[in-house]
Structure 1
Amino acid sequence: MLHLDTSVWVALSRARLHADDPFRELWGHLLEATESGRVQVALSNMNYLEVWNRRARASRDDLGLTIAMLSGYVSLRDIDQLTGAEVSLAIDARREGGLEQQPKRLPRSWVLGTGVRHAFNSEMGRYRFVETLESNAEPEGPPVEPPPELVSFFSLLEPRNFEWIQLVGSDDGHNFAGVDFRPTHRHGDEWVDQQEALRRFVQRVASDDSLLYRAIILQRLEAIRPSLIELTSLDEFVNLVPSPAAGVSLIGKVPIEHVVAELLFQALRNPAYSFRQHDQADIYDLAHSIPYCDVVAADKHWAHLATAGHLDSEYRTTVLSGIGGLAKWADSALH
């Protein structure tokens, strides 16, 4: 099972389109391997979201065709749904007296599926409907029912056409008001501010890696608070997680949040590194894929931090550095 960062998909798309591209041979090897069943490529919901970051329809079409040809729209289960299931397993294990016997990963047969509905845990695929869009001044409004005419339109589409529209969008889909097509940009900016604030807090209190790690664990516990509220009472949670060490242990058994925590720790402990808007997407894509795929071709910077944090060995996943790392892997694995 192979997962590709969107930057790698972009490089493969160029290779598909241009016979003189340095990775043209890699494209051919991957196409043959997927068509023969030797390799399966799985998409994340971040792959879907990032295709729409490309404004030009022709660019989205080129990238989308590359993705569709290699993946067949096989997808990882929605990241929020996966995280909730991981938290539930960890809480059940804690109730039974320990976490050491809990498997690190959910069954692949449950994690893998087909199409955008699986990737976003929604009959409407990637589309979400709210009363008002989030702005700098106001939070996102409450959920609302999707427009009946859109529900009807989707129901009439052939499955392949539904998947294509969800992947690349429609001809005029980026040109009308009231739709947020690039939420990853806004969320990325907010997320950068949060991480830099965390760094400043730790530096102000003490220059201590252990304090930094505990602060990250608290952040990750806050991230899973909705699942914790659903699964436990406050009194039970205090009994189940009575100390910082117990919090570390709990997050360590929630693979997606564990990967996020380790990557943040590796980045935040380097005072020279400044977070970028796109880092949030890279981190969550790795958190989604490293625990559940055999091979992950990632952004070079985060691939380095993933191996520095021993996440590859922790989850027995080969983490490759960009398109170059994927080419080296393919030279040995696909011949």
Structure 2
Amino acid sequence: MKTFIIKFLLLLGVASYASIAFAQSPNIKLIKVQNPRFNSGVQIGDVLQRSVALEVNQPYTLSKTDLPAKGRSADGIELKDITLAATKAGDKNRYTINFSYQVFAVASKPVRMQLPKEILKFNANANPLAAEIPAWTFWYAALVPENIENAKKMMYPQHHPEIVNITSHQTKLCAFLALLTFGLLGLFYINADGHLLPFMNGAFAQAYRRIRKTPKSLEGLKEASIYIHQALNKTHGTNLFADDIEPFINKNPKFSKLKDEIYAFFEQSNALLFASSAMYSEQHFGHLLKLSKRLRDCERGA
């Protein structure tokens, strides 16, 4: 009789606990249940996340030992991980529980499955309380169709893209690159003033560089004139005088287009170097600079 009474009391307690667990309690407030974003196309090995936020009146508390057991598996769904975060707000305890479920089901066609409902148990001395998190239904997608017989039969032949004839484009590109290279070399050869190549350091190229660095004064004007004389002498092989201009042009026909300018230079230089009344002229200085550059271009065959 005594044993019967004890069993009866135990059954009564279980029934009482169950009624409290599933009844709407004013002590628990469910703030948010966030389920996975998609409820279709789930395949084997996928991990589904759900989060629950709730608030309970003190002195009810929720501890990690009261949570569902990690690693629990049922109907192809395993509780892979579960975390608990707790805070206090006045006379209330707030909890956020994150569930991670992994799907291990195997099926040959789409099947309806669900994340299980969870019971969260709260303790306050001898007055237990629980909250139920409802199940969440989703569609499991099979990796392989049920009626497939041979994978090779299901394959479609691959079609290679048509080959584009690029010969004409390659020819145009090569021609363009050749023209660009010759053009750049030509500009470099005509305008370069450094000692980068032996044929770029001729007598008139040196004279042009020196005149560019000569100060703009009467002495500088005389030096510029002397630089041009020195270049003419070096090119001629000996001192070049006004009477030697014609033989010089015959010997160096590349300077023939500047024959008149050379004659005029000798007349101006004699007046500049030997006359006592010589004066500085910026126009004259610019003329000498221009003449030295034109002689340099002729020297290079431009």
TM-score (norm 2): 0.23
More helix by share: 1
Larger Rg: 2
More strand by share: 2
Which has the bigger relative contact order, CA under 8 A and spacing at least 6? 1
TM-score (norm 1): 0.21
